[in-house]
């Protein structure tokens, strides 16, 4: 199992710089080990223990089902841009669901389009102006991997859209 920093800010606190550095160091060590096993065709099975297995195969699946069926208990209806929004359009460009449109220099979330809950709109807003009511996001920090910039997500989204259109024809 590989641990990475968490950016699901409605539930988890944003990791500190120290926590991120520690996770990154662990990750690099594990990746070196994984790379070695793949290169040398060494089989690997990580025993996570019975509790982790039960959690992953039962509780996590049930909670995921409930979150999807309830729209994360109405979370997709609570996004908004606060007074710090400058209408830059970053949120619209990186929204993987194509749910956000900039109208009159402010983001508007289309409630007819399901949200993917990636929180890219919150995490990549250069003004930290995107919020989610009831989630106290205004008081929470933001995290995204420092080597992934908003333009990378936007470009990837553009390629995916182009590829999906070419498949239909």
- In the chain the domains, ranked by start, together with CATH numbers, are 17-46+78-168 (3.30.70.20)
The pTM for the full model equals 0.71
Tokens describing residue 106: 């402010």
Residue 166's pLDDT is: 57
The conformation of residue 42, written as its DSSP 8-state character, comes to -
Query: For residue 39, how many other CB atoms are within 10 A of its CB?
Result: 8
In 104-143, which positions are buried (b, 16+ CB within 10 angstroms) versus exposed (e)? eeebebeeeeebebebbbbbbbeebbbbbeebebeebeeb
Evaluate if residue 49 carries a pLDDT over 80.
no
Least confident stretch, 12-16, 39-43, 76-80: 76-80
The conformation of residue 139, written as its DSSP 8-state character, comes to G
Least confident stretch, 46-55, 68-77, 148-157: 68-77
Confidence of residue 169 (pLDDT cuts 50, 70, 90): very low
| DSSP bridge partners of 109 | 100
Confidence of residue 109 (pLDDT cuts 50, 70, 90): very high
Alpha helices by DSSP H, 40-149: 50-54, 60-74, 90-94, 120-124
């Amino acid at each position: 199992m590989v641990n990475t920093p968490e950016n699901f800010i409605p539930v988890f606190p944003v990791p500190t710089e120290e926590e991120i550095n520690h996770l990154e160091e662990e990750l690099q060590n594990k990746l070196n080990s994984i790379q070695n096993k793949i290169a040398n065709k060494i089989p690997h099975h990580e025993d996570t223990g019975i509790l982790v297995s039960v959690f992953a195969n039962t509780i996590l699946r049930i909670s995921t089902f409930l979150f999807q069926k309830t729209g994360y208990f109405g979370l997709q209806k609570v996004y908004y841009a606060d007074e710090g929004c400058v209408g830059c359009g970053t949120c619209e460009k990186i929204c993987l669901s194509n749910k956000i449109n900039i109208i009159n220099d402010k983001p508007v979330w289309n409630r007819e389009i399901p949200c993917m809950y990636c929180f890219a709109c919150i995490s990549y807003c250069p003004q930290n102006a995107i919020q989610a009511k009831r989630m106290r996001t205004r008081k929470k920090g933001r995290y995204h991997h420092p080597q992934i910039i908003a333009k990378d997500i936007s470009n990837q989204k553009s390629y995916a859209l182009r590829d999906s259109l070419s498949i239909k024809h």
